[in-house]
């Protein structure tokens, strides 16, 4: 019994059939398998008919003892060639004395030598090489592919004696079509018929690649078994390369149903792939001579090579046209970028090489279309699908509904598509559409498979009728050919080249804009710092000598310095979010000896520029107060914890311990006002200040709009909130040395009695710097407002130390610094620029202090360079 296949029936049954290990051969030949010492291990049961020696006599014996000396010599000679040829054939060979001559084929199967033989047929055929050469010469004269294929079929028909010869081509899905045919009178034509991919199972296709020639002499013959039978000791023999290999029962049934009594097939292999078959059918048993079969096999190989050559020639012509098209596209789009969004122009440009009914350009999420195309919404969905399926290659389909089912309803507008990616990342496409083309496919019989359960074992039963079966095809367009796909690839490469040119130009422009922005920010920072330094100079110079005014000046100067450090932080981030932890680090570093007593924990959050400036003042007041009256005034410590509230903001907790007993202040100064009101007023947050006996506790809440959390920072991140590494930051030795790096010195006046050069072009800043240098012990400070004045002073005096503003007028003091270094004069740089931009690309280890100045920073810098000068060359290599 047999029925149409159930939905759950396994269509891979044929693919698992052991077609190469049936352990049987066809009865027109015999087969012997032997080891490398010529000991026979497997033999066909019909050897007596060909060799007058029974299988029982051959098994276990040495095959060479049965052969004539001439036959043995020829076989041994050909065995030596098998390593390079794979198989060898000998014609008209007398193997055993008194028996008719045989045609013999030999090949290795793993470690076994396989010998097959059949009776030689007396024929008058010409020599094989001459025959094939004449056939190939005739084939070379065909001026079209159609004539080329038809001539091939006619010549194989002539030499093989079969009734029908077909050129059978596979498509991308594995289905086949008869594209050329030659038949004898009265034989039904199969020209133009299609056959489903399942007619030739995958393992059969693989075998056609491995062994390109196959003969079935009589489908009604009883196969001949190999001895000894398969058992636990004797495995089945792989007959992949055997000429006489038996035939699968399913394939025999298929041929019988087709009315074929004998068949011959030759593989057409192009560029290593199974392109198709030369299939020969006979209505009666047919076994051409081994000589003619060898000629047909050689002709098939020549035909494959010539077909490959013709296709490559056609590909070369296509490539030439593609290059011309690409050159035109590049030239025109390079002159007018808007053409990349002109769908009608692009369709007109490509019409000669790729026929389409509509075109859409999908760039940056926007669609520009012309002609018959799907809706913009459908195009966007198709582009999204392509992003995941084939983002970097040309993709073709003749059925859009298989990608996006709703397209089935609009097949009259677009049923097929070619997509051409035109960007490096999956995003932008040119989409060429073709309308539905109603068509009919003539199948060689109903392609539906049938299920057979005879004997209780399910299998696929071949169809019984091969009369033309017409199937109407809807919802599909004309296929895009391989040639058109190559043209699409040429368009892709051309447009990507143009787009990359524009992209590279845009990148260069962005780099220039970024450089201009960095320069402007640096100049702004320089001017702001100079302004702050100027304000400090005014305050310092007008402060007088009264203790109260001195305290006022120091306090105000400290706040200005805190704002300057915060401004540096913001500038280093290109006026973007800066690390909150960095503000703590900077402020503690400004108070000598306190940095190691700070414990800072929590996620590494960033604050917006406005919040950084506000928190810089708040943190400055906390640290200053603690240094004067709290934990940092003794041996205590400060614990700071940052905690995030997801979606709301951050809590900042300040806790002092180990200091003197704390009591609420009797009066409220400006510092208390900053602590209590700055965060609520400027940032709309909260501030709570508590004077506990064990130390001051302060709690602040900063709302989310002022907070920036990097992607890799989680709300529960317990890691210390250290500031992230500065991008492109200079080595640590370029900044003013940290206090812990400077050894404690007995004197607070390292410049005592020294003659000092100060190069500064702003009077008030120069006066403040001069006062600081004198407070460090300088006996005399010579101020040079210009580089010329500095050169004159250096020529006239021997200085013990120099302080050089980097930017003097329209120049820099770098050359002056080089002269001082040569003369052995220690110096430091001063700058209104941030650390990264102070020295530019100057590869050196000089110390830079930032404006506005603080005496403690200047003191540490002087100690540093004087220590290095005393230590001599090489001391600057500090960690």
> pLDDT tens, 594-653?
677 888 888 988 888 878 878 888 888 888 888 888 888 888 889 999 998 888 899 999
Q: Give CA separation, 602 vs 311, 570, 712, 715, 726, in Å.
A: 68, 21, 14, 9, 19
Q: How confident is the model at residue 40 (pLDDT cuts 50, 70, 90)?
A: very high
CA distance linking residue 585 with residue 529, whole number of Å: 20
Q: Which two tokens stand for residue 675?
A: 């602590």
% the chain with pLDDT above 90: 27
Q: How confident is the model at residue 531 (pLDDT cuts 50, 70, 90)?
A: low
Please tell us whether the domain made up of 9-17+125-223+238-314 is placed in CATH 3.30.70.1290. no
Contacts of 409 (CB under 8 A, 6+ apart): none
Vertex 839 angle, CA 834 and 843, to 5°: 140
When the pLDDT of each residue in the chain is averaged and rounded to a whole number, the result is 79
CA distance linking residue 569 with residue 788, whole number of Å: 34
**Contact by Cβ (8 Å): 655, 690:** no
For residue 21, how many C-alpha atoms fall within 13 Å in the half-sphere facing its CB?
11
CA-closest candidate to residue 355, choices 338, 342, 372: 372
Peptide bond into 652 cis (omega under 30): no
For residue 691, how many C-alpha atoms fall within 13 Å in the half-sphere facing its CB?
14
% the chain with pLDDT above 70: 75
Q: How confident is the model at residue 592 (pLDDT cuts 50, 70, 90)?
A: low
- The secondary structure of residue 687, as a DSSP letter, is E
Q: How confident is the model at residue 785 (pLDDT cuts 50, 70, 90)?
A: confident
- Per-domain residue ranges for the chain? 9-17+125-223+238-314, 24-119, 321-436+477-500, 568-708, 732-871
Residue 207 has pLDDT above 70, yes or no: yes
Please report the sign of the dihedral spanned by the C-alpha atoms of residue 8, residue 14, residue 15, residue 16.
Answer: positive
What residues form DSSP beta bridges with 687?
A: 700
Please tell us whether the domain made up of 321-436+477-500 is placed in CATH 3.30.450.270. yes
Strands 213-216 and 262-270: antiparallel
CA-closest candidate to residue 346, choices 209, 450, 491: 491
**SS3 of residue 310 by DSSP:** helix
**SS3 of residue 245 by DSSP:** strand
* CB contact burial 422-439 (16+ within 10 A = b; e otherwise): bbeebbbbbbbbbbbbee
Q: Which two tokens stand for residue 284?
A: 């009666």
404-409's contacts with Cβ under 8 Å and 24+ in sequence apart are 404/378, 406/378, 407/374, 407/378, 407/382, 408/475
Q: Which two tokens stand for residue 502?
A: 């524009």
CA-closest candidate to residue 830, choices 571, 562, 613, 564: 564
- The tens digit of pLDDT for each residue in 450-486 reads 455 555 555 545 555 455 555 566 778 888 877 788 8
Range 732-871: architecture per CATH: 3-Layer(aba) Sandwich (3.40)
Contacts of 302 (CB under 8 A, 6+ apart): 132, 135, 136, 139
Topology (CATH) of 568-708:
Heat Shock Protein 90 (3.30.565)
Contacts of 178 (CB under 8 A, 6+ apart): 166, 167, 168, 190, 191, 192, 193, 444
**SS3 of residue 314 by DSSP:** helix
- The secondary structure of residue 341, as a DSSP letter, is G
Domain 24-119 matches domain 321-436+477-500 at the CATH topology level: yes
Q: How confident is the model at residue 583 (pLDDT cuts 50, 70, 90)?
A: confident
Q: How confident is the model at residue 693 (pLDDT cuts 50, 70, 90)?
A: confident
Topology (CATH) of 24-119:
Beta-Lactamase (3.30.450)
């Amino acid at each position: 019994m047999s029925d149409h296949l159930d939905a759950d029936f396994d269509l891979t049954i044929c693919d698992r059939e052991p077609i190469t290990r049936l352990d049987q051969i066809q009865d027109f030949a015999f087969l012997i398998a032997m080891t490398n010492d010529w000991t026979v291990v497997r033999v066909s049961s019909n050897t007596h008919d060909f060799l007058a020696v029974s299988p029982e006599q051959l098994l276990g014996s040495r095959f060479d003892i049965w052969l004539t000396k001439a036959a043995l010599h020829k076989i041994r000679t050909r065995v030596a060639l098998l390593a390079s040829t794979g198989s060898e054939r000998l014609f008209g060979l007398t193997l055993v004395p008194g028996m008719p001559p045989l045609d013999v084929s030999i090949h290795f199967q793993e470690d076994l030598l396989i010998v097959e033989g059949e009776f030689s047929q007396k024929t008058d055929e010409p020599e094989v090489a001459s025959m094939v050469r004449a056939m190939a010469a005739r084939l070379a004269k065909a001026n079209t592919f159609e004539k080329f294929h038809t001539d091939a079929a006619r010549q194989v028909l002539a030499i093989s004696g079969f009734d029908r010869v077909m050129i059978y081509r596979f498509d991308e899905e594995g289905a086949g079509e008869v594209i050329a045919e030659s038949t004898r009178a009265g034989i039904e034509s199969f020209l133009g018929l299609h056959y489903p991919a399942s007619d030739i199972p995958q393992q059969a296709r693989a075998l056609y690649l491995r062994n390109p020639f196959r003969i079935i002499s009589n489908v009604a013959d009883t196969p001949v078994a190999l001895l000894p039978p398969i058992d636990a000791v004797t495995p089945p023999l792989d007959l992949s390369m055997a000429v006489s290999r038996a035939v699968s029962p399913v394939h025999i049934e298929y041929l019988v149903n087709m009315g074929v009594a004998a068949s011959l097939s030759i593989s057409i292999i192009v560029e290593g792939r199974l392109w198709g078959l030369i299939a020969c059918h006979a209505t009666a048993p047919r076994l051409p001579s081994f000589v003619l079969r060898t000629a047909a096999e050689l002709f098939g190989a020549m035909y494959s090579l010539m077909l490959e050559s013709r296709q490559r020639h056609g590909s070369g012509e296509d490539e030439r046209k593609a290059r011309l098209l690409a050159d035109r596209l590049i030239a025109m789009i390079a002159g007018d970028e808007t053409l990349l969004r002109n769908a009608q122009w692009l369709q007109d440009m490509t019409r000669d090489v790729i026929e389409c009914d509509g075109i859409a350009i999908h760039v940056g999420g926007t669609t520009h279309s012309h002609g018959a195309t799907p809706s913009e919404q459908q195009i966007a969905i198709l582009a999204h699908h392509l992003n995941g399926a084939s983002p970097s290659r040309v993709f073709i389909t003749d059925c859009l509904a298989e990608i996006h089912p709703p397209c089935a309803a609009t097949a009259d507008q677009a049923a097929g598509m070619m997509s051409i990616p035109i960007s490096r990342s999956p995003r932008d496409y040119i989409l060429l559409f073709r309308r539905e083309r109603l068509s009919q496919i003539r199948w060689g019989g109903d392609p539906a498979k049938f299920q057979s359960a005879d004997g209780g074992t399910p299998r696929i039963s071949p169809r019984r009728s091969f009369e033309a079966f017409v199937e109407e095809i809807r919802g599909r367009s004309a296929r895009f050919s391989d040639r058109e796909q190559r043209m699409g690839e040429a368009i892709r490469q051309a447009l990507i080249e143009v787009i990359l040119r524009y992209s590279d130009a845009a990148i260069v422009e962005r780099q220039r804009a970024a450089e201009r922005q960095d320069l402007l920010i640096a100049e702004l920072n320089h001017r702001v710092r100079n302004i702050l330094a100027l304000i400090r100079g005014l305050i310092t110079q007008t402060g007088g000598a009264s203790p109260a005014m001195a305290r006022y000046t120091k306090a105000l100067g400290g706040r200005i310095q805190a704002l300057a450090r915060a401004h540096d932080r913001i500038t280093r981030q290109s006026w973007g979010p800066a690390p909150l932890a960095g503000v703590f680090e900077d402020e503690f570093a400004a108070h000598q000896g306190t940095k190691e007593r700070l414990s800072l924990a929590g996620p590494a959050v960033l604050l917006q520029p406005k919040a950084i400036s506000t928190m810089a003042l708040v943190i400055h007041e906390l640290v200053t107060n603690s240094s004067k009256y709290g934990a940092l005034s003794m041996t205590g410590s400060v614990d700071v914890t940052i905690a995030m509230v997801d979606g709301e903001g951050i809590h900042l907790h300040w806790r002092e311990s180990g200091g003197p007993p704390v009591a609420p202040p009797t009066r409220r100064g400006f510092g208390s006002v900053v602590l209590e009101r700055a965060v609520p007023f400027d940032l709309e947050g909260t501030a709570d200040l508590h004077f506990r006996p064990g130390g001051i506790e302060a709690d602040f809440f900063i709302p989310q709009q002022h907070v920036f959390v990097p992607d890799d920072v989680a709300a529960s991140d317990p890691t210390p909130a250290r500031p992230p590494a500065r991008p492109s930051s200079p080595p640590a030795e370029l900044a003013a040395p940290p206090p812990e790096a400077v050894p404690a010195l007995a004197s607070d006046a390292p410049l005592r009695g020294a003659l000092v050069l100060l190069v500064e072009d702003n009077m008030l800043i120069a006066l403040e710097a001069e006062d600081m240098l004198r407070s460090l012990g300088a006996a005399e400070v010579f101020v040079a407002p210009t580089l010329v004045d500095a050169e004159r002073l250096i020529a006239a005096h021997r200085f013990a130390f120099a302080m050089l503003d980097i930017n003097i007028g329209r120049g820099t003091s770098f050359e002056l610094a080089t002269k001082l270094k040569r003369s052995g004069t220690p110096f430091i740089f001063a700058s209104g620029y941030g650390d990264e931009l102070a020295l530019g690309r100057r590869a050196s280890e000089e110390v830079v202090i930032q404006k506005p100045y603080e005496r403690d920073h200047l003191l540490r810098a002087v100690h540093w360079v004087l220590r290095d000068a005393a230590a001599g060359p090489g001391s600057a290599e500090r960690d």
